[in-house]
Amino acid sequence: MTTIIYVIIKYITVAGTFSKAFFEHLTCRVYRILIEDGRYLVPTEMCGHIEHEFIRKKGVIFGLCFFPFLYSLIIGLIFTGIGSMNLFYLGEFYFGDSNVPNFLNFAYLWLGISFLTNLFPQIEDALTLKELIYNKETNFLTKVLASPIFAILYCGAYLERYGITFITSIVFAFLMPKFFAAVLPSML
């Protein structure tokens, strides 16, 4: 049942799903990781992810988990900011005084939610990252410095697996104008 919900959400947010898989594919190429299955929209738990060889190096698995996350986060924040500010703060649902919906603002919002829904790595990659960073061979300073980023990636991987990131992305899009208004008082 969770796989069905997961795949449905991945297809609803197809722009973010496809771009996340593309960023993973690109990162695999940069790190010279062998790709076993390069299909992006497979209707399984691999939807939006790239199946690759097992990684045994800390820096490589960290890069594979972090860089696609970072790219999707930046693009998602930009599109969500544009769409949510125009729709929920400025109220630009229509073009001027006409009854024609402003589809561009809705498209920006959908793109932003799509990117923010598909931020996190695959659960297996997050578990591999945990295994390689939190072992006896890794020094204490590395463990401490990596812990905030690891916690976000690890928890997010589980949230994405059960479709919760879709809900959190929608809530974030509604709250983003309020956050901007609180941080930037000149917007009031």
pLDDT > 70: percent of the chain: 98
User: What is the per-residue pLDDT for 84?
Assistant: 93
Q: Is the pLDDT of residue 1 over 60?
A: yes
For residues 129 and 56, give the distance between their C-alpha atoms in angstroms, rounded to a whole number: 9
CA-nearest of 115, 112, 118 to 156 is 118
Please, how many CA atoms are within 13 Å of residue 158, restricted to the half-sphere of its CB? 6
Say what percent of the chain tops pLDDT 90.
62
Cα separation, 16 vs 9, whole angstroms: 11
177 has pLDDT over 70: yes
Please state the pTM of the whole predicted model. 0.90
- Please report the pLDDT score of residue 186 as a whole number: 65
Picking from 106, 89, 116, the residue whose alpha carbon sits closest to that of residue 19 is: 116
Neighbours of 118 (CB within 10 A): 30
pLDDT value for 89: 82
**Tokens representing 51?**
């199946």
The predicted-structure confidence for 5-51, as pLDDT tens digits, reads as follows 999 999 999 999 999 999 999 999 999 999 988 888 888 888 888 99
* Residues in CB range of 55: below 8 A, 6 or more apart: 33, 61, 64, 125, 128
H-helix segments, 13-163: 14-30, 58-84, 103-117, 123-133, 140-161
